[in-house]
Chains A and B, each alone.
Chain A
Amino acid sequence: DARVTQTPRHKVTEMGQEVTMRCQPILGHNTVFWYRQTMMQGLELLAYFRNRAPLDDSGMPKDRFSAEMPDATLATLKIQPSEPRDSAVYFCASGSSLKEQFFGPGTRLTVL
């Protein structure tokens, strides 16, 4: 049963701390997307990769956020330093040439 996995599922941290979220895309998928969802802003695309190369990170605050794909089975999203306004659910999704995206279960982040 092919699924996107994300860790951790929940994270509570204090302002100023570093947060790293991880995503394992579906095997064989060549695109990976990071989204953030909040009640106020809805679903926002932060960054995405194709064949591990970053193609668009225009939705990401670059002073504190960074996204990488060290290998085809792992994508990371890092926030340093974290702020309360970063509290949200962060979703990873992966896709293939067919463009349909499959979403992971999300990481619920709370920054105090």
Chain B
Amino acid sequence: ELKVEQNPLFLSMQEGKNYTIYCNYSTTSDRLYWYRQDPGKSLESLFVLLSNGAVKQEGRLMASLDTKARLSTLHITAAVHDLSATYFCAVEGYNTDKLIFGTGTRLQVFP
């Protein structure tokens, strides 16, 4: 059974600092997705990583995928308050349309 773990679960960081959120998964998968959820809102797709070594960047966020290590990272550069949200990674299951979601990382950026 595919399991997806994120850490940390909670992250409080100061504006301007850098940090990384980690997403580990338990079985082979070549595709991984990152979503953002603001409080009381829906999930918004951030990145789609489709192969080993894939790297995507959007503004202060950069996501990467290492399928051999079964690890994805979401790196935050020079955090700003607008990045405060919950971030989910999701892994595509084998031979299925389903995505298995991690528990989410709640990020709070303070001045």
Chain A interfacial positions (CB closer than 8 Å to B): 31, 33, 42-43, 45, 48, 50, 55-56, 91, 93, 95, 98-106
Contacts and interface: CB of A to CB of B under 8 A. Distances in A.
A99 B43 contact: no
30 contacts: A31-B97, A33-B97, A33-B98, A42-B103, A43-B43, A43-B88, A43-B104, A45-B98, A48-B97, A48-B98, A50-B97, A56-B96, A56-B98, A91-B42, A91-B43, A93-B43, A99-B92, A99-B97, A100-B33, A100-B45, A101-B33, A101-B45, A101-B99, A102-B45, A103-B42, A103-B43, A103-B44, A105-B41, A105-B42, A106-B42
Contacts, number: 42
Instruction: Give the contact-size bracket for chain B.
Output: 10 to 19
Given A48-B97, A103-B43, 15 more contacts: A33-B97, A33-B98, A42-B101, A42-B104, A43-B43, A43-B104, A56-B96, A98-B48, A99-B31, A99-B92, A99-B99, A100-B33, A101-B90, A104-B42, A106-B42
